[in-house]
Structure 1
Amino acid sequence: MPAATTTRQQIVDAADRLFYSQGVANTSFAHVAEAVGISRGNFYHHFRSKDEILDAVIAQRLAGTEAVLAAWQAAGEAPAQRLRFFVHMLIDNQAPIMAHGCPVGSLCAELAKLDHPALGAARGLFALFRDWLSNEFARAGLGREAPGLAMHLLARSQGIAVMAQTFRDPAVIAAEVLLLEAWLAEVLTPAARVRQPPAAA
């Protein structure tokens, strides 16, 4: 049983890499089997269709995203710091972003073009980020504005990823991250000021 579990995980990991680097439509069973080094027969023992593999990849990405958000939550002492973790994800992952775009954005865009039934599940990846960002803006005292600010930050990060991939220039990411940090400071400073206790008489 452990060997079967390991092989299945290897298939999911290989498919995840290939779906990101060359797209779902351009990845076949044969590509994944070759990457893992198993026969087609052994492959079908674990997955009967590419859609089953895609479902497993999306589930793995959802779990990975939840783990990242939990780590940011634990490491950040305040909303501003935790929000910067999200912004700096662009720099931390600039090489793969320049090569293949945002893994979430590229997957959702491709599935939308294909009108694929897995789009709803893949969209859940963006929903995780959106809801987490919204909660952080709310914790910073921005209440009713929080959902809109979260979507704005998510949309800006996606635009940056597209431009970075298009121009293949790390300077694009570096410059845009600085602008995002300035925007965050501007957005968060009034909220922080409101929360300050009144001066003693």
Structure 2
Amino acid sequence: MLMPVSKRQQIVAEADRLFYEQGFEFTSFANIADAVQISRGNFYYHFKTKDEILDAVIALRLDRTRQMLDDWQQSGEDPKARIACFIQILIVNGNKIVKYGCPVGSLTSELAKLNHQALTRANDLFGLFRQWLAGQFMALGFPQHQADTLAMHLLARSQGIATLANAFDDMAFIEQEVQQLNQWLEQQLAGQAESDNSKES
């Protein structure tokens, strides 16, 4: 049975959408209140400042990211399949990425420019992906340092793809780059297998 969505949850969900589509700086209290269709007075009952809303949005994104990673952990047949889930998200969210960029990258970039105190918490989103991806590479037999290097490389590639796809409004570019990322993953696994075989012989 689905629990009813509270007014506070509605505010956070709409703020999350608007921060992504319009940017944190250019989203006002009025924008969010209009989207939720509540009065300003009722709005201030739930949140006194936009920074309070930002904290709630980051918490929501962290919770959703943890849930997504847990789902991939359960549904992926093996670490390789789980890493492929991360790569495939560029296709799954492709239309939004082309229009608005990466939700994580766009938020952290904006907060960095604003020198906003919430930047560290927003960066935790990248930290979740980094730690999870490194864990998958370690499960495939890569030593910890190399696994983290590969995780960072994959994060960097995905961010670059999202940025350029958004800049050039090009979904085909995402599809092309996802194919190359999958090939890159196969190459890393082949290299690791060769290394393991040479150690055994």
- Give the TM-score band, short-chain normalised: over 0.9
Q: How far did residue 91 of structure 1 move?
A: 0.3
Q: Deviations over 1:138-170 (max 9, x none)?
A: 111111310111000000000000011011111
Q: 1:170 to 1:43 in 2, by over 3 A?
A: same
Tell whether 2:191 aligns with 1:190: yes
Distance 1:87 1:99 in 2: 19
Partner of 2:166: 165
* Stretches of structure 2 lacking an aligned partner (at least 5 in a row): none
Does residue 10 in structure 1 map to residue 10 in structure 2?
A: yes
Deviations 1:119-140 (A, max 9, x none): 0000000000000000001111
Residues 43-73 of structure 1: CA deviation (Å, up to 9, x unaligned):
0000000000000000000000000000000
**What is the Cα deviation at residue 195 of structure 1?**
7.1
CA distance in 1, matches of 2:65, 2:95: 19
Unaligned runs of 5+ in 1: none
Any residues of structure 2 matched to 1:137-176 within 5 Å, and which?
137-143=137-143, 144-176=145-177
Instruction: Note if contact 1:15-1:57 (Cα within 8 Å) is conserved in structure 2.
Output: yes
Q: Using the alignment, how far apart are the partners of 1:192 and 1:139 within structure 2?
A: 13
CA–CA distance in structure 2, aligned partners of residues 19 and 195 of structure 1: 50
Instruction: Quote the offset at 1:189 in angstroms.
Output: 1.9
The alpha carbon displacement at 1:192 in A equals: 3.8
Shift in CA distance, 195/53, structure 1 to aligned 2, threshold 3 Å: farther
CA distance in 2, matches of 1:192, 1:110: 41
Once residues 15 and 56 of structure 1 are traced to their aligned partners in structure 2, the CA distance between those partners, rounded to angstroms, is: 9
Residue 118 of structure 2: aligned partner: 118
SS in structure 2 of the partner of residue 25 of structure 1: coil
CA distance in structure 1 between the partners assigned to 2:155 and 2:105 by the alignment: 10
Alignment of 1:1-201 (within 5 A): 6-143=6-143, 144-192=145-193, 194=196
Summarize the Cα distance change of 1:169–1:82 in structure 2 as closer, same or farther, 3 Å threshold: same
Quote the Cα distance in structure 1 between the aligned partners of 2:188 and 2:83.
12
Distance 2:114 2:47 in 1: 21
Q: Indicate the SS of the match to 1:178.
A: helix
Q: Supply the AA of the counterpart residue of 2:103.
A: P
Please give the alpha-carbon distance, in whole angstroms, between the structure 2 residues aligned to 1:169 and 1:28. Answer: 30
TM-score, length-scaled by structure 1 = 0.94
